[in-house]
Amino acid sequence: MALAHVRSYYAATVNDSTTYPRLEGNHVVDVCVVGGGFSGISSALTLAERGYSVAVVEANRVGWGASGRNGGQMIAGISGEHNVKAQLGADGVRLLRDIRYRGHDIITERIAKYGIDCDVRYGWMEAAARPRHMQGLRDYVDERIAEGDGEGLEIVEPSAIRSVLGTDLYHGGFIDRRSGHLHPLNLCMGEARAAASIGVKIFEDSEVLEIHGGAKPHVITARGRIDAKSIILAGSTDHAFQRGRLNGLTFPTGSYIIATEPLTEAEVAEINPQNLAVADSNIVLDYFRLSGDRRMLFGGRCNYSNRDPKDLGAALQPRLVEIFPQLKSKNIDFAWGGRIDIVLTRVPAIGRLEPNVYYLQGYCGHGVNTTHLAAEIVADAIGGTMEKFDLFDKIRHIRLPVPRWVGNQMLALGMLYYRLKDLL
């Protein structure tokens, strides 16, 4: 039986309650997409707009996983830009510039084209968590400007931080006016509605049991089968399908969010007057933003061992209050968590298991933007345009040749080291 959306602020304020049928019987399409999150729905919508017949098969509900419960931060680029440059050189620099805001553009275009109401706002900040981090942020902005890609970037000097955020905990930062934040579940549901309106077949409560490539690609569920010319494994896939090039590549990481009761206009004006989405510069970071109804959505405490805190509110609220003492008396109305997939190079995994079986996954916290551009890259490849796809396919990823549980413990130890570095 399909699992309902986790009890979150997003599920409580979703503006589209559409449900889709379970897969029954046999169907034939051009492309079968496995996964009903941003990766899958965006892939399906992109392909359908280009004239392909498409089916999406989702084990639970559309937007059930990270796509429907993440921080809602629409951040430019990818987390592992340094690895792309190191491995691909000048081609990597050009690739990063070409794709940095492409996901944003796709989202903005769809919101306008299909009338998707998802509280989109522009303005995102990386805040310096330590004085020593500020030089790295300056260097990043200077590098972007030197490359001709600095539009919308501005440095916040340490002396000016109070004019941007109502806290003394940060030491400057930079603002990206082209990035921003939104209600992710409403965006995902809106894109699914758009896809269905132009012919995409969406099936929920339809766990895929078998995936076959070869001469006759097809997927099998408990009650049905879809034959296709191409298959896309979209986003986090069941461990049983982490084979071949996907084996030992991604590791699920716990991330958690709380939502306060609605704040007053005066409180908002004091703590976040520009309505920015914010992430700090630590490796194990905090992130926060305001919702459309003025709640503080605060996330962090990434857990690489997959042991969830027993009380999410108790785990996160002290850190929220440390940053914003003004919110000490505010009730926590929602607390939820989920899994994001981490790739050790921090570069999204985009490639093929077989000539007709594609995959895209491992967004490392940049999923709102990166899912959409990755979906377009895979759709281009299916249509025969391989330039960007081939560049991602060239990236040499680090794979751990151990069971996933062991890999997660190794990852947890490594991130503990970085957490200690953050604190020192």
What is the distance of C-alpha 285 from the center of its chain?
Answer: 15
Q: Model pTM?
A: 0.93
**pLDDT (0 to 100) of residue 278:** 98
pLDDT at residue 323 greater than cutoff 60: yes
Q: Does the structure show a pLDDT above 70 at 240?
A: no
Q: Collect all residues with Cβ–Cβ distance below 8 Å to 58 and sequence separation of at least 6.
A: 20, 35, 36, 40, 64, 202, 203, 204, 205, 206
pLDDT of 410:
47
Q: Which residue has the higher pLDDT, 414 or 167?
A: 167
pLDDT level of residue 365 (50, 70, 90 thresholds): confident
Q: Which residues pair with 175 in a beta bridge?
A: 125, 154
Q: What is the pLDDT of residue 405?
A: 47
Half-sphere exposure of 274 (CA within 13 A, CB side): 18
Helix extents (H) in 213-311? 265-271
Q: Regarding predicted confidence, which is higher, 74 or 340? A: 74
Banded model confidence at residue 420, pLDDT cuts 50, 70, 90: very low
Tokens read off for 300: 């962090």
pLDDT at 407 over 60: no
Q: Which of 181, 190, 206 is nearest to 38 (CA)?
A: 190
User: How many Cβ atoms sit within 10 Å of the Cβ of residue 415?
Assistant: 19
Is residue 184 within 8 A of residue 368, CB to CB? The reply is yes
User: Residues 14-70: pLDDT tens digits?
Assistant: 999 999 999 999 999 999 999 999 999 999 999 999 999 999 999 999 999 999 999
Q: How far apart are CA 415 and CA 334, in angstroms?
A: 27
Helices 184-197 and 102-114, interaxial angle, to 10°?
60
Reply yes or no on whether the pLDDT at 419 is more than 90: no
Q: pLDDT of 3-14, one tens digit each?
A: 899 999 999 999
CB atoms within 10 A of CB 124: 24
Q: State pLDDT tens for residues 254-287.
A: 889 999 999 999 999 999 999 999 999 998 899 9
Type of residue found at 336: W
Question: How far apart, in whole angstroms, are the C-alpha atoms of residue 270 and residue 326?
Answer: 9
The answer to whether the Cα torsion of 214, 220, 226, 230 is positive or negative is negative
What percent of the chain shows pLDDT beyond 90? 81
pLDDT by residue (tens digit) across 147-178? 999 999 999 999 999 999 999 999 999 999 99
Block residue for tokens 């069971």? 403
3-state secondary structure of 37: coil
- What pLDDT, on a 0 to 100 scale, did the predictor assign at position 306? 58
Using one digit for the tens of pLDDT, what is the confidence trace for 97-151?
A: 999 999 999 999 999 999 999 999 999 999 999 999 999 999 999 999 999 999 9
The rounded mean pLDDT for the chain is 91
pLDDT value, residue 418: 42
What confidence score (pLDDT) does residue 340 get?
A: 82
**pLDDT bracket for residue 412 (50, 70, 90):** low
